[in-house]
Amino acid sequence: MHLKPTADNTIVLKSAREIAIMREAGKVVAETIRALEEQAEAGMSTRDLDQIAARKFQDVGAESTALGYFGYPGHICVSVNDEVVHGIPGPRKLKRGDLVKVDVAARYHGYVGDSTHCFAIGGLETLSDRARQLVQVTQEALFHGIWQARPGNRLSDIGAAIEAHVSANGMNVVRDFVGHGVGRNMHEAPQVQHHGPGGRGPVLRPGMVIAIEPQVNLGSAEVRMLEDGWTAVTVDGSLSAHFEHTVAITADGPEILTLRDED
């Protein structure tokens, strides 16, 4: 989500019963992402991907939380190559070697799951070595961040871990967007920055559920918005990767609600 100057700071804790429902919502989102990755191929349009997700939501009785969000026109976001986030599905045809980010958020039985996966049309082997590293480092950085999502840590420990891994690999974390609490609504408090310093913000507690979603650029961290009012692209045209999971903080540590077996 966009970094917002003001926000309701109240973090709504979820009960074990609510987290059980969110596990189901997370599974719907994960299965949708699996279908998208399996079916995406050269020659398809980004709107075709949107339709795959829309059909999946309809089949299982879920609803997109992107559609109609501040007037957003798609069921999912599909961002390609230098597009960082919130790409609107449309007639753009996918090509072999395109780096695709599908951001899927849906409500199921009253609760939301939100996850983003990044893959290449034709497989990761179609990418340059550096682009493949970008994908790998971004996914690793997300997992480093998730690892910090445990009781007793502070919120900004998550971003600090993400940024440390990205910087160590000579890449840059985008600062214009943040992760967020998730629950009955797609966007709840707190906002989750993907950069340091650590040791700041609320102490993490069991029952918090957050979406962590670093976007990482091979070049400058700066982004600009296209005229459509949604799509953010890198200012220098460099490639960008994005991964996201919805994570419940439990007494035992992080539980990834949108995990797929292959992650």
User: CB under 5 to 8 A by kind: which of Co ion, ligand MF3, none does 69 bind?
Assistant: ligand MF3
Give 60-65 contacts, CB < 8 A, sequence gap 24+.
60/28, 60/31, 60/108, 61/108, 62/25, 62/28, 62/106, 62/107, 62/108, 63/106, 63/107, 64/105, 64/106, 65/105, 65/106, 65/107, 65/112, 65/114, 65/185, 65/186
Task: Tell me the two tokens of residue 224.
Answer: 């600009």
Task: Give the footprint of ligand MF3 on this chain (CB under 6 A).
Answer: 1, 66, 69, 72, 77, 86, 103, 105, 114, 116, 180, 213, 244
Report the nearest approach of ligand MF3 to the CB of residue 103 (Å): 5
Report the nearest approach of ligand MF3 to the CB of residue 168 (Å): 25
User: CB under 5 to 8 A by kind: which of ligand MF3, Co ion, none does 147 bind?
Assistant: none
- Residues 151-190, mask of contacts with Co ion (x by CB under 5 A): ----------------------------------------
Report the nearest approach of Co ion to the CB of residue 180 (Å): 6
Report the nearest approach of ligand MF3 to the CB of residue 251 (Å): 26
Work out the burial of residue 39: count CB atoms within 10 Å of its CB; fewer than 13 is exposed, 13-18 middle, 19 or more buried: exposed
Residue nearer to ligand MF3 on the CB measure, 116 or 193: 116
User: Does residue 146 belong to the site contacting Co ion (CB under 5 A)?
Assistant: no
Note the residues at the interface with Co ion (CB under 5 A).
114, 211, 213
